[in-house]
Amino acid sequence: MVAPLSLLLIVAVTIRAALYRSSLAELIAERVEVVSPITAWKRVIEGLALLDLGVSPYSGDVFHETPLIIYLFHFLVDYAEITFMLADVITAVALYMAVKDFNKQVFRKQKFSVEAERYPADCLELIRSPTEMFYIPLKVAMFYLLNPFTILSCVAKSTCGLNNAVLSLFILTTIKGNVLLSAIFLCLATYQSIYPLTLCAPAMLYLMQHQYVPVNPRRAAFWWFLVQYLFMYLGSLFVIVCLSFFLLGSWDFLPSVYGFILSVPDLTPNIGLFWYFFAEMFEHFRLFFLCVFQINVFFYTVPLCIKLKDQPVFLMFMQLAVISIFKSYPTVGDTALYLAFLPVWSHLHRFLRNIFLVSCVLLACSALFPVLWHLWIYAGSANSNFYYAITLLFNVAQILLVSDYFYAFLRREHHLTAGLYLKKKDGSEATLVLK
Amino acid sequence: MKLLTLLSLFVTYLVTDCINIENTAGQFFSSGHTNNWAVLVCTSRFWFNYRHVANSLSVYRSVKRLGIPDSHIVLMLADDMACNHRNPKPATVFSHKNMELNVYGDDVEVDYRGYEVTVENFLRVLTGRLPPSTPRSKRLLSDDRSNILIYLTGHGGNGFLKFQDSEEISNVELADAFEQMWQKRRYNELLFIIDTCQGASMYERFYSPNIMALASSQVGEDSLSHQPDLAIGVHLMDRYTFYLLEFLEDIHPASKANMNDLFKVCPKSQCVSTPGHRTDLFQRDPGSVLITDFFGSVRKVEITTEVVNLTDPIEQVDESPANGEAREEMYSYVDQLPVSEIIHQKPKQKDWHPPDGFILGLWTLILLVFFKTYGVKHLKHIF
């Protein structure tokens, strides 16, 4: 499978290089859907220029990246395009390897269950075969690399690509079962934007199952593993934050990076939900709604963990989706990461109910974003409500997509235990409802 | 006979030519300025502020009569009184009651009219920072040999002047604008006249050299208007500018009247308020400054066919200081460009580099993680 993967990588790199050389690069770099105040390349260059002039880049509201990004781009600013292409390649390869390993484990578990005859007789058609699972890793890599969202994000040189690379490396190391590396990559991802904190829970669940630690709060081994992982995670976070202090010699970066992400002072329109709401809000209620919106991101972790504690990888997918939808400055690059996972759940397609609606809405919204932006900002014949409506619709479609996959997943699990053709007590066909 | 007169005339001509023109050349540069500009601003709108427009127009009329051309006058009127609906005599603005003197005339050139008269535009005119599309008539194209007359009138208070009934310029802003003009060498000497309530507060903050300032009232006093005309229905002029206009009507281009006469214009008996002036920033003695140095555009011209050698410094024909005091320190222009640095090509300042401790710490951590993950056995292959 190396050859098709290499071919895919070459094709992806060619597309990106071609777009870099064309005049579209500046156009794309300005689009608010692709870059946000946290990830814009223009701000990275501005911060580095300020540093050359002897001013801290965190003074003022320009630069909101972490000091490690300063360090990275101080030496790589001339090779920025190669860096971002490399980040995309790393993400794709990491996802490829992760999904391959995951598929092996899924298949092995399935084999054990079949041999143990845990599945009812009529759901044989739900059982997956290696042939259908063979091309899934390649499809995942393809979904990521050839996704227009990713290409736009890479051409705009948005640091979201780097964030995606770190997250995918985290997923790879988690699935491979390496506790230390998983904690370290999660710490790096959290260090860059706070929201991957919620991925702590699925990672811990997965690693515990990988090491055959029973996921039972009453057992001591559970708590011991929790403490170990959290110690590694928080310890490396502490070390990275202290190291960042030594880069510039000041703690300025804490309010500039984390304060900015949490308190959302910049209300530039983007594809998220924060800007419109906070633009029209009275100062009196701002703190309250800020807390509500931020808690919304972290809130789904615990219920999802309880429901999906046996399938932590699906939980990771759902958490990634929740982060991408509800974070304070989302861009299409974040969406692209969790969309890359869809081929992994391709066996669920027979249970998906809204897939046509969702795909139509996503396509239409993606096309309408630049149109309504132009009408609002340049032509002046629309106003912010139009753009916000499309944003809202885009997010609703994403939520519908994720909840649809959730429903399909749970339904398949239910069928695997209760049989495919369900009958009510009186023998007529039963319907399943997701409560 | 005719030949003799012709010959004697020719000889006289030659003799006068033999007088070394260079000795008298110093007279031409005694005043220090080579061109004159005027910036006349009326900042009030609405019909009942007719008198402010009449103030500005009367000063405009005087400086134009004394020789400053329209290309060197920036006239800013915040409202159009001549064509106001309530003007019973359209196309006229009168300064004396019974419609004796029409200061509007038929050759008025207003450069900034109506809503263009804003604090921003005024400051941009003074400092020269106008967009490239601004026409020449709207620019103050002065240089370091220009004498500029700046006349402001309108409603003011302690430390501010109101523009268009909606914004203000403060005395600090004005002082800073003049300092910018000084640093950019945009004036040789500046005469600042203001006719508003508490006008003296506007010149309190000046700190640039070569500025002389006059105001119609002190801090805490109001400047009063002169006389209403019952046919037009509003007050036509302010007292200070009315008496200033009367004073200037007696000035002609060859007049030798000096600034001390100007300070005596409108005493308290006539003006009710106490006019004030400020000369401490001005280098020359006010008694030696001619009115026409600022209000007129007077050139000393003498036709000669001799060649004047300008490479040697011309000795100025200036009078000794009045009381024989030691001269004050000479003001000089600040260095605008770091010429010495540019000439000697100082090395470029170093770019920022991350501290060594940081790099060391980071790579140590990375190596530690690497060896932890892949086992310490690799170490023996390296060392």
Contacts of B364 in chain A (CB under 8 A): none
Query: Is the predicted pLDDT of residue A60 greater than 80, yes or no?
Result: yes
For residues A198 and A298, the answer to whether their CB atoms sit within 8 Å is yes
Residue B197 bears catalytic tag: yes
Q: Which domain holds residue B164?
A: 31-283
SS3 assignment, position A293:
helix
Mutation target among B349, B350, B356, B358 for the A interface, most CBs of A within 10 A: B358
Residue B373 has its nearest CB partner, among A181, A247, A249, at A181
Contacts of B375 in chain A (CB under 8 A): none
Q: What DSSP line would sit under B264-308, residue for residue? A: TSS-HHHHSS--EEE-TT-SS-GGG-BTHHHHS---------SPP
Q: Across the interface, do A180 and B352 touch by the CB < 8 Å criterion?
A: no
Confidence tier at B383 by pLDDT (50, 70, 90): low
Residue B352 has its nearest CB partner, among A51, A178, A243, at A51
Residue B354 has its nearest CB partner, among A52, A54, A74, at A74
d(CA A171, CA A161): 15
Please name the residue of chain B whose CA is at the shortest distance from the CA of residue A182: B373
Among residues B42, B197, B266, B271, the one annotated as catalytic is B197
For residue B86, give every residue at least 6 positions away whose Cβ sits within 8 Å of its Cβ, in sequence order, or none: B47, B233
Distance from CA of B361 to the nearest CA of A (A): 7
Which domain CATH number covers B169? 3.40.50.1460
C-beta neighbour count of A60 within 10 angstroms:
12
pLDDT digits (tens, 9 = 90+) for A158-189: 999 999 999 999 999 999 988 999 999 999 99
Q: Which of A105, A113, A174 is nearest to A136 (CA)?
A: A105
The pLDDT assigned to B315 comes to 63
- Domain-embedded: residue B8: no
Greatest mean pLDDT range, A143-147, A305-309, B312-316? A143-147
The pLDDT assigned to A214 comes to 79
The pLDDT assigned to A192 comes to 92
- Domain-embedded: residue B238: yes
8-state DSSP, B376: G
For residues A16 and A85, the answer to whether their CB atoms sit within 8 Å is yes
SS3 assignment, position A385:
helix
Contacts of A247 in chain B (CB under 8 A): 354-355, 358
Domain boundaries, chain A: 2-268+282-346, 352-419+429-434
d(CA B314, CA B275): 39
Size of interface A-B (CB pairs under 8 A): 34
Confidence tier at B323 by pLDDT (50, 70, 90): very low
The pLDDT assigned to B320 comes to 47
Percent of chain B with pLDDT strictly greater than 90: 29
SS3 assignment, position B35:
strand
The pLDDT assigned to A365 comes to 94
Report the domain count for chain B.
1
Query: Is the predicted pLDDT of residue A314 greater than 60, yes or no?
Result: yes
- Domain-embedded: residue B264: yes
Q: Across the interface, do B369 and A181 touch by the CB < 8 Å criterion?
A: yes
User: A383-386: which pairs have CB atoms within 8 A and are 24 or more residues apart?
Assistant: A384/A269, A384/A276, A384/A279
Contacts of A249 in chain B (CB under 8 A): 355
Least confident of A131-135, A306-310, B25-29, B117-121: B25-29
- Alpha carbon A100 to its chain's center: 19
The pLDDT assigned to A101 comes to 93
Confidence tier at B354 by pLDDT (50, 70, 90): confident
d(CA A391, CA A372): 10
Query: What mean pLDDT is predicted for residues B220-243?
Result: 87
- Domain-embedded: residue B266: yes
Strand B211-215: give its sheet, edge to edge. Answer: B112-113, B73-77, B35-42, B146-153, B189-195, B211-215, B276-278
d(CA A416, CA A411): 9
Contacts of B352 in chain A (CB under 8 A): 51-52, 54, 74
Residue A243 has its nearest CB partner, among B362, B369, B373, at B362
The pLDDT assigned to A392 comes to 94
Residue B373: HSE in the Cβ half-sphere, 13 Å Cα cutoff: 17
For residue B102, give every residue at least 6 positions away whose Cβ sits within 8 Å of its Cβ, in sequence order, or none: B92, B93, B94
The pLDDT assigned to B24 comes to 65
The pLDDT assigned to B9 comes to 67
For residues A208 and A177, the answer to whether their CB atoms sit within 8 Å is no
Higher pLDDT, B310 or A373: A373
- Domain-embedded: residue B144: yes
Residue B155 bears catalytic tag: yes
